[in-house]
Each structure stands twice: as structure tokens, then as C-alpha cells.
Structure 1
């Protein structure tokens, strides 16, 4: 399952690309993210202890003892941070099998090729750190309105660090539905990561899935060509769609332009197939990442500049 540390790593990769530096490695980000939140919990505990100490001191003063109490030095949690210098090398190669999984209509996913129509479902279980995945960027307006800014992923199992880094940048800069994200947009961004699991075998029943639980990957023929598209598990529920509305939107995303009332006939005539999958989307807003990154900077953790 995705974590907020994965989202923090996506932010780290995007920010590093703007700052012309190497991002911290995924394992380093995960460790620092855990230490950061552990320090928050400890600091909160220290505050509670200080409150109790003050109450006790007050009681002793009332008793007339007037004795001085030894001061307890509590070093800041950040001083316990291990300063590690690890960074991943930059990579310009991106996985070739990718798809947009958002609710925003695209210009059509286009005809499927043999390479893009197959999922490496058997490779999902090879290792804990390999997953098919999607990375989504949204912008948040001042009144809290969320707008999609980029969403691209892959059904091919990826080594997690490489996959997150590749698709954090691909979805930010190469989603053809939007202009590339600029550095000035960083403060308005939120990031969401979905790791995909539990793929089903293809079925011809377009309604054999559960709203809010399953993501969908469809394939169908139209005007002599094979098309496909996908929506992540949260999309249909987030949009308030029925199953039928979801299928119509998916088919149109794939390139079909027929009427809503004829989608089932098109599905049957076009030998439609559907693959279900699951994945819980986890998100992080820029201010949360920025606070963590400032904490990392104060700890003296450095990133290497690009040559």
C-alpha cells in the first residue's frame, strides 16, 4: 500500500528537478519521514511532561518548600537525526508502458499495441518493492477546489524507487492534457500515489466490479481498431458516477464517440473486456512536505548538485 512517504518522495523528485539537484533516495526519505513524525510525537510528549512539571512546581511552592528543582535538559529531537548522504542517480529513461488514470477526459488513449495491451500481472508478486503504480498531481485553489494537473502510471511492475521517480516527473511534465507543471505552482500542489494490486483475469461482463473498490482497465474494438483506457479505484466514487456512467466515460476516454444509450451494443460488438484491480490512493499536500523538508534541511542533510 502507498504511504505518505512515497508522496514526499514524489515531491522531493519534482522539487529537485526545479532546483537542479539530486533528490534524496526513497529509503532515505522513508527513514527521515518516520523520524520526523516520531520527533513530533516526542515533542508533544515533552510538552505534556512540562505541563505536569509546572503543576508539580506550583504545588511545591504552595507548600512553602521553595526548593530549586534541577533543570532537565531535553535536546531537540532533530539532534538525534542521523545525517546520511545518500542520493539516487538521475535517469532520463522512462518506462514505455504508461496510461492516464484520472477522471479528466483525455484526447483518447489511442489504439492499443501488443506491448501496451499486456499487463505484467505475474510480476506483481516478485518482490515487496515492485508495483504497478500511478502518480497524480492536483492543484488546490485558495477556496479548496481541487483540479487535476497530471496523472500517469503504468501496469508494468516497477522497482518502487525508479517507478515513483519516473512517474512523478512524467505526470508533472508529460501529461499531454496539460502544460508542464512550473516551479511557481509547487505551493498549490498535492500529490497522490496509488500502488496497484489484486488484478483479475479479463472478463467480458462490463458490470462485474464494485464501485469504490475496483479500478478498471478496459479494452474494446471500435471502427476496426482496438482501444483501451483506465480509471483508478477512487475515480467513479469521487465523481458520483454509476457503473454505467463510468463505463461510458471510460469508453469515450478510449476514443469512442457514440451515444450513451448505445454503449452496451458497442461493448458487445467490439468484444469488450475488463480487468479489475485495487489500490488505495494516499495523498500529501505541499505545506506538509515543505515542513518536513525544512526539518531535513535544519538537520544538515544535503543533496548533491547535478553536474
Structure 2
């Protein structure tokens, strides 16, 4: 999952009462469908609040009960006007996720679209201060060679963070960062440490993961309001609103 922003502001504009709605997914689906077919889009009717957001595309399995497969997921932690932001990131996620080839028209009928609106950002003092299934995490850390080693390094998980006492050692030449949305750890069956270590790997660090590295992480936890619709639901919505498929 790629992230195209580095700052994590709180949602602007309307408050959290405007939760994620199916219409947000329909609008995202419509942006992709019209981009692939040159059809005329349906004007969105939902309120245009501002939120950090992610748009996720999944391919549904042809076998009942089998899990879906990720097909693209990109978002931003900068608050976006929903009408423009969802349409933009629907296409970025479909066409520019470097892990996958571009989504093509023939795939549409097997897709489902999920939208996540991000809320409740909080800086935490420990890499363990979040709950699986409740919070997403956004981690940043310097190159591990710049992290001082504790006098008595420990491999045991700690509720404490050493980042507050870590001295600054010049200008960092490289900063690693990664995020997982709230549902990821639960779906993967990870505990907190497994999630943290997976995020460190996702950020691009392939070396040893020590307790000193974990304690040096800067972690922001957040929550999300999510909604998912299938291709069939989108087609029904578009037809009901006077659009052709």
C-alpha cells in the first residue's frame, strides 16, 4: 500500500458524523468505469467534506468462501475534498500502484471497491500503544545505523519508547515510513509485534529488527470509517441514476 503524503493532519471541514457511505464507493467505481469506457460519469450527491482517504480495489475469487486478492490500494494522509479526492485516488490506485499492472476494463465485473476515511490521529509514546482491529498505524524511523544501541539491549517487548531520549545525530539522510489500515492486522492474524515488524519491512528495511529499532519508531495511530461495494451493486446504482453500462 503506497502512501503519497507524509503529514498526518486531523480531518478538516465536517466532523466525523459524516461516516463512509456506499455512495463514496459508487463514486470511486464510477471514476474507474468512466476512465476505462469513456462513459459519462454520474455527478456525486454526497456532502463534500474533507478527509484523509484510501481507495482499495480487490479481485473477488470465483470460488465461494475464498478470500479476495488485493488489486490496488493507494491513499493520502492529507485531507482531500471527497468528490475530487475519491475520484483521483480511485484512478491512482487502479493505474499507479507499482505492485500491480494497470486495471483493465475486462476485470471490472470481478472487482469490489473499498473506501476508507481516516480519523482520530494520535501520536503515541510506545509502538505497542494501539489495538489490533481498532487502529491503523503509521510508522517512521531513521536509518537504523543512526539509532544508538542501548547499554543493555533487550529482545523483550517494551511499553516504553526510547525515541524521546534518542539524541539527534546530524541530518538524517534517509527516513523509512509505512502504514497499515486498521483491518490489515486482523485480517492477517498478526499480533502487535508482528504488525510492527511487517510495517518495518514494508517501509523498506531488510536488515535485522532489534528491540532498539522498535523503540526508536515514531508511531501515529488512527481509525477509519470504511465501506465496500461490489461491481453488481455499482451497476445497479449507476442504472438507478440514469447511467448506461
Specify if TM > 0.5: yes
1:277 pairs with 2:231: no
CA–CA distance in 1 between the matches of 2:226 and 2:120? 15
* Contact 2:238-2:244 within 8 A present in 1 as well: no
Distance 1:10 1:206, change over 3 A: same
CA–CA distance in 1 between the matches of 2:204 and 2:113? 28
Counterpart in 1 of 2:161? none
Unpaired stretches in structure 2, ≥5 consecutive residues = 1-18, 146-172
2:177 to 210, 213, 228: 228
1:129-148 aligned at under 5 Å gives the runs: 129-143=49-63, 144-148=66-70
CA–CA distance in 2 between the matches of 1:296 and 1:13? 15
CA–CA distance in 2 between the matches of 1:181 and 1:128? 27
The SS at the match of 2:121 is coil
Give the number of aligned pairs.
197
**What are the superposed Cα offsets for residues 47-75 of structure 1, whole Å, 9 maximum, x if unpaired?**
xxxxxxxxxxxxxxxxxxxxxxxxxxxxx
1:250 pairs with 2:195: no
The SS at the match of 1:196 is strand
CA–CA distance in 1 between the matches of 2:211 and 2:48? 39
Counterpart in 1 of 2:165? none
Counterpart in 1 of 2:8? none
Shift of 1:289: 1.0
Counterpart in 2 of 1:286? 231
1:24 pairs with 2:42: yes
Counterpart in 2 of 1:112? none
1:123-162 aligned at under 5 Å gives the runs: 129-143=49-63, 144-162=66-84
1:266 pairs with 2:208: no
- The TM-score with structure 1 as length reference comes to 0.61
Shift of 1:220: 0.4
The SS at the match of 1:198 is strand
- Structure number with higher strand proportion: 2
Larger Rg computed on CA atoms = 1
- Structure number with higher helix proportion: 1
The SS at the match of 1:277 is strand
**What are the superposed Cα offsets for residues 75-130 of structure 1, whole Å, 9 maximum, x if unpaired?**
xxxxxxxxxxxxxxxxxxxxxxxxxxxxxxxxxxxxxxxxxxxxxxxxxxxx9700
**Deviant stretches of 4+, over 4 Å:** none
Shift of 1:294: 2.6
The alignment's C-alpha RMSD in Å is 1.9
- The TM-score with structure 2 as length reference comes to 0.76
Unpaired stretches in structure 1, ≥5 consecutive residues = 31-126
* Contact 1:218-1:229 within 8 A present in 2 as well: yes
